[in-house]
Each structure stands twice: as structure tokens, then as C-alpha cells.
Structure 1
């Protein structure tokens, strides 16, 4: 069954928030590192999927869509910059926990804004069949999106799509050297 784009996005948000909570509650350093690796991967993929699928559609359908999308891209950029630093650190490094908490605070603000304002307005405006088509595209993009943050990469299609595809082999190589935890996506 195809999920609409709103459901895809909210499911991703749930996964990321759940992983962040697991990170906070975990006392085992190795497990905490696996969770942090997974958080970084999930946010990188999610951000690219939104930038490629959601934001152009918001620009098309909402009167202030360009303004909303530009604002969201700015928030994504700050999160990506923090993730980029975290991605080169270990959870045991000085400053890691503080930077992780800062990044999650920024991300939670972004998520709250999307879920309480942008997505409801978008859902009211866009026909159900288009929401479903965008959901299928969002899910497909997830398979080719970069799995690590690239704050200097373009954040608008088609350049973002091409940059993501180009960075994917390196990202997958890095992923093969790391451990991750199950996100529970299959249950959503």
C-alpha cells in the first residue's frame, strides 16, 4: 500500500525522535554509537527526501510556499552542519553529547513547525492522489538519497538529486564500516 507523503514524513519524524530517545537512555557506549550512526543516516536521508519531493511541491501549491521552503532549507542546513561534525566524531569525544543535543533541539523545532503548520496546510491544498504520488516518490528517493550529511551540496532538485546519487557510493562505503540499529520502519 502506498503511503501519502504526509504519512511518510511523519513516520520518519517518529523514527528519528524514537532513536534520539533511545540514544539518551542508552548507557552502553557501543550501543549508543550504533544509535547515533543511525540517527545521522536517518536525518540525512529524510532531509534529502523532503528537499527533493516536499519543498518543490509546497512551492507549487501554497501561496507562501517559496518562503516556507526556503525557511525549511535553512533549518535543514544548520542541522546538516551539526550532523557533519557529529559524523566525524565518536560518542565518547568531548562535546559530542552537547552537539547532539543542540542538533536534536533544532530538528525538533523544525519537526514541530512542519507538523503543526506546513503539512496541515499542504494536506488541505493538495489532492489525495497527488499526495499519494508524492509519497511514492518520497519512498523511492529514500533508496538513492545520501546517507551522510553534505552541507555544501545543493539543496534543490535537480542538482541535489545528482549530488546525492554521486555521493551515494562513498556514503555506502562509510556505512559498511559502521554499525546501526533497527529503526522499526517495517512496523509503521
Structure 2
């Protein structure tokens, strides 16, 4: 796992603590599915649509920064898997841009469900088999940090691989958050 180039964990008293990347992303997936279900129930609810777009934008950014590089580093054939997932994420970002412009929720909802299923059925089991628990927790910590600095709007034309996405995404995140504040856009499910 050293190819992922993670700094050491701070001393915690002898035992590694925190949530693994699978736990963190799994929780995000449950939130995304709940938002998708809510939007399916009321496709005209622009606040739910905004929160889904913001949550999914943050989620995809964090996955691109840490999940896919980990897959590349430790899974045989990981480059092909990561490339496939990045292509699907790019399509999802384009669909999200469409949702924000024309309000068409159906394709985004279906793409969210496919994304969650693919991660749960393929990527997470591979990581759990091949990555030590301590590194899974390190990755989980990084994902949580990356998600908070990530953009809240889709940016399908920005870099999707390290190192550039780790520079560009936080900068776009600042700009997006300022836009969200100025427009009073809701971006977290807890605020619905």
C-alpha cells in the first residue's frame, strides 16, 4: 500500500482508530441513495436536487482523490478498473450538470444507484481483501478530509487524477462554497 503515499497516522495510544474508507464511503452511499429516493418521490424539489448534486460532487471528488488511486496501487488490473470508474464518474458529472440546468432527475438517480452498486459489489470487497486495516483507516480519514474541501457543483472538465485533482478540487470547492453562500443554496441533507 506504500504506492498510495499516505503519511503516517498520528499516535493514538497504540491502536489505529477511525473509520475505514469502506465505512466512510458506504455511509455516503446510503445518504446518496436516500436523497435519490427522495428526489424520485418529488422530482420537482429543487432543494433536494441541489443537495444531491452537492453531496455527489463532494463524494466523487473524494473517490477520485483516494479510492481510485488505492485501487490502481493494490488491485491487479486496477488501472483498468479505475479508468472505467473515472469514465462513469465523468458521465455522472455531465448528468448532474443537466439536472442543475433542466431539472431532469431520472438519469441522475439511476446513475447514482449504479455507482453505489458497483462500488459495493466490486471495489469495496477488493480493497477489504488487499489493503491492511490500518491503511483502510488512513484512507477513510483522507476521504473525510477531501470531501469537506471538495466542490459542491459538477466540474466534468477538471482533472480527475492525482496530483492535479488534489490541487484543483479544493480551489473549486472554495469558489463553489462562496457561490452557495451568496445564492443561499442548500448543500447538506441535514439542512433540508
Unaligned stretches of 5+ in structure 2? 1-16
Q: Does 1:140 align with 2:145?
A: yes
Tell me the SS of whatever aligns to 2:184.
coil
The corresponding residue for 2:26 is 10
CA offset at residue 179 of structure 1? 3.6
5 Å-filtered alignment, 1:64-83, equals: 64-83=77-96
Q: Does 1:150 align with 2:166?
A: no
The answer to whether the 8 Å contact 1:146/1:167 transfers is yes
Tell me the SS of whatever aligns to 1:147.
coil
The answer to whether the 8 Å contact 1:37/1:178 transfers is no
Unaligned stretches of 5+ in structure 1? 90-95
Consecutive aligned runs of 4 or more in structure 1 exceeding 6 Å deviation = none
Give the TM-score normalised by structure 1.
0.86
Give the TM-score normalised by structure 2.
0.84
Q: Does 1:60 align with 2:65?
A: no
2: CA distance between counterparts of 1:115 and 1:24?
22
The answer to whether the 8 Å contact 1:58/1:66 transfers is yes
CA offset at residue 109 of structure 1? 1.3
CA offset at residue 143 of structure 1? 1.6
CA offset at residue 25 of structure 1? 2.0
CA offset at residue 165 of structure 1? 2.0
CA offset at residue 117 of structure 1? 1.4
2: CA distance between counterparts of 1:25 and 1:181?
19
Tell me the SS of whatever aligns to 1:58.
helix
The corresponding residue for 1:26 is 42
Counterpart of 2:174 (choices 163, 169, 172) is 169
CA offset at residue 43 of structure 1? 0.4
The answer to whether the 8 Å contact 2:40/2:106 transfers is no
Q: Does 1:48 align with 2:61?
A: yes
Provide the aligned C-alpha RMSD in A. Answer: 1.6
1: CA distance between counterparts of 2:180 and 2:18?
28
How many positions carry a matched residue from both structures?
173
The corresponding residue for 1:93 is none
